[in-house]
Chain A
């Protein structure tokens, strides 16, 4: 008599031959590398249609990899705060990509992050006194606040002023 449900794992790749599995890996990784290269090229292109195509593929790659990571982290039992991760990536982009084509896009994202930060402090501020509250998160959001305000000032206020002069 069984005590619990029988657990099993099945995947089509387990039934493939070695060359078959190799082919799947090669095609998958080569395809991903091509897509990343294509995305970066399209995002940097001056043509507007190419740029938006790059945005679409970037969204596809980003969302797919995020959910892939989420699934993987659930399987191995280790999880990372994806929200924090995405914020950190955006902060990096803010510093590393100040070029013109990405400015509008990044400004929109940073404005949304600012709202998220405001939302965080509005909702979590009453709980900050609680024992064992992760202080690092508060510091992280404060740093992010400073970076976001700096970014918006640099790329919106300064540029607007320069345009009007």
Chain B
């Protein structure tokens, strides 16, 4: 059917409209997720959240004395807490951005029809 010029024009117009929304929401989500993971990966080089969590019960610098265990627990907990807060803030910002991005089209439609 799309071999007919008239049908093709109608079909491609419809496809362009559907693609617009797909790119806006799906493509926007993908791009946002990519950015978020990239930022989290870079932050993890500094905060080392994953490795700290893995070696949480281990003392610092392999000092297996009581002091080493206590200090290890304190510093690793602090590192996890600070890293966790920073990650949560970054994830929160990303969620707010995506929500704003997602709500932009309904907002414009609201402004048009209100």
Contacts and interface: CB of A to CB of B under 8 A. Distances in A.
Given A64-B16, A64-B20, A12 B8 contact: yes
A20 B20 contact: no
Contacts of A158: none
Given A48-B111, A49-B112, A52-B112, A13 B8 contact: yes
Contacts of B4: 16, 20
B20 A16 contact: no
Interface of B is mostly: helix
B8 A60 contact: no
Interface residues of A, number: 24
Interface residues of B, number: 24
B23 A52 contact: no
Nearest to B28: A63
Interface of B: 2-6, 8-9, 12-13, 16-17, 19-20, 23-24, 27, 39, 42, 105, 108-109, 111-113
Closest 3 CB pairs of A and B: A20-B5, A12-B2, A52-B111
